[in-house]
């Protein structure tokens, strides 16, 4: 019997590439995103190549009840999820006080609350019944504060620390939690978050979404706790451990400036 992967933010970027990887390996899919058109296009593409089930859920996961609604829909359709991929999220470039609270509220709800709630729901569902694997998409932003994207960086730090902690807790339950931390990646994120004009994006090699997805997929299947994409990206978290925190913040502020 084929296993099933539930992927949020599946319509584009890393989420879309992850959907293709699961499909290549004969794993049924539940794909969640806001864009029905993009989800339908992806489903048509995958069904033309692979003999598997692809269920589409059009939902805005930034609403407080979204995680519970999604979980309940899976139960109503008798879909037993084996792999949970929390990929949905967004960021926004701008001074903290200049950005509306409504924007931050949605960001925290999507990047933190829904991810945490879905993880909690499926961990409780699997515990004592079956093994499961969780892939949470964080970022290299998780390793330092980010002036001009303060809330986004903070949400990604939350994802990393939460995942590491509960991954340790879940060992006895045969549930693995993997955190994927990509740097700047060739997706729509840079345009939507207005990061494309920053020194960070202009002065580093932009990763391919397919390569990032493959790295995350393989790490998830091996049960690795954390995987960082790119040699330089791996060096930064190590290096900043030996720097005073105020230096780290100043350096981060410098690379986050727009040119």
pLDDT per position as a tens digit, 156-198 = 999 999 999 999 999 999 999 999 999 988 876 555 545 555 5
CB within 8 Å of 253: residues ≥ 6 apart: 147, 148
- The catalytic position among 83, 122, 152, 217 is 152
Count CB-CB contacts under 10 A for residue 236: 17
Q: Is the pLDDT of residue 203 over 70?
A: no
Strand ranges in 9-156 using DSSP code E only, listed in sequence order: 28-33, 54-58, 83-86, 132-137
> What does the alpha-carbon distance between residue 51 and residue 105 come to, in Å, rounded to a whole number?
40
The residue among 141, 142, 147 whose CA lies nearest residue 254 is: 147
Count CB-CB contacts under 10 A for residue 222: 11
- pLDDT computed for residue 52 by the predictor: 97
Q: Is 246 a catalytic residue?
A: no
Q: Is the pLDDT of residue 213 over 80?
A: yes
- pLDDT computed for residue 251 by the predictor: 82
pLDDT 10s digits, 120-145? 999 999 999 999 999 999 999 999 99
| Residue 224 binned pLDDT confidence (cut-offs 50, 70, 90) | very high
Count CB-CB contacts under 10 A for residue 182: 25
Q: Is 152 a catalytic residue?
A: yes
Q: How far is CA 259 from CA 28, 152, 201, in A?
A: 45, 20, 11
Q: Write out the DSSP string of 14-51.
A: HHHHHHHHHHHTT-EEEEEES-HHHHHHHHHHHHHH--
Which of the pair, 102 or 256, is modelled with greater confidence?
102
- pLDDT computed for residue 193 by the predictor: 47
Q: Is the pLDDT of residue 235 over 80?
A: no
* Cβ proximity of 110 and 152 under 8 Å: no
> What does the alpha-carbon distance between residue 141 and residue 80 come to, in Å, rounded to a whole number?
33
pLDDT 10s digits, 12-64? 999 999 999 999 999 999 999 999 999 999 999 999 999 999 999 999 999 99
Strand partners, 84: 6, 134
- pLDDT computed for residue 259 by the predictor: 60
- pLDDT computed for residue 33 by the predictor: 98
- pLDDT computed for residue 67 by the predictor: 98
pTM greater than the 0.85 cutoff = yes
Domains within the chain, CATH numbers bracketed: 4-255 (3.40.50.720)
pLDDT 10s digits, 60-118? 999 999 999 999 999 999 999 999 999 999 999 999 999 999 999 999 999 999 999 99
Q: Spell 100-120 as b/e; 16+ CB within 10 A means b.
A: eeeebebbbbbbbbbbbbbbe
Greatest mean pLDDT range, 115-119, 143-147, 239-243: 115-119
Q: Is the pLDDT of residue 202 over 90?
A: no
- The catalytic position among 50, 59, 83, 156 is 156
Residue identified by tokens 């740097």 is 183
> What does the alpha-carbon distance between residue 226 and residue 219 come to, in Å, rounded to a whole number?
8
């Amino acid at each position: 019997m084929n296993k099933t992967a539930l992927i949020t933010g599946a319509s584009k970027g890393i989420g879309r590439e992850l959907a293709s990887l699961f499909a290549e390996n004969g794993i049924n899919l539940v794909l969640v995103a806001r864009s029905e058109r993009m989800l339908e296009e992806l489903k048509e593409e995958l069904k033309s190549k692979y003999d598997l089930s692809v269920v589409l859920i059009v939902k805005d996961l930034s609403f407080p009840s979204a995680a519970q609604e999604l979980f309940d829909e899976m139960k109503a359709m008798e879909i037993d999820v084996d792999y949970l991929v929390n990929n949905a999220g967004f960021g926004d470039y701008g001074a903290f006080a200049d950005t509306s609270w409504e924007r931050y509220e949605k960001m925290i709800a999507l990047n933190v609350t829904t991810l945490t709630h879905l993880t909690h729901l499926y961990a409780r569902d699997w515990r004592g019944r079956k093994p499961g694997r969780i892939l949470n998409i964080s970022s290299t932003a998780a390793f330092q504060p980010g002036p001009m994207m303060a809330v986004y960086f903070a949400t990604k730090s939350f994802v990393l620390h939460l995942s590491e902690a509960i991954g340790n807790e879940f060992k006895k339950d045969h549930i693995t939690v993997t955190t994927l931390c990509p740097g700047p990646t060739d997706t729509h994120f840079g345009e939507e978050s207005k990061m494309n004009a920053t020194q960070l994006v202009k002065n580093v090699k932009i990763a391919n979404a397919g390569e990032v997805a493959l790295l995350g997929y393989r790490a998830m299947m091996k049960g690795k706790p954390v995987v960082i994409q790119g040699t330089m990206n791996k060096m930064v978290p190590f290096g900043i451990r030996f720097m005073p925190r105020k230096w780290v913040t100043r350096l981060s502020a410098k690379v986050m400036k727009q040119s």
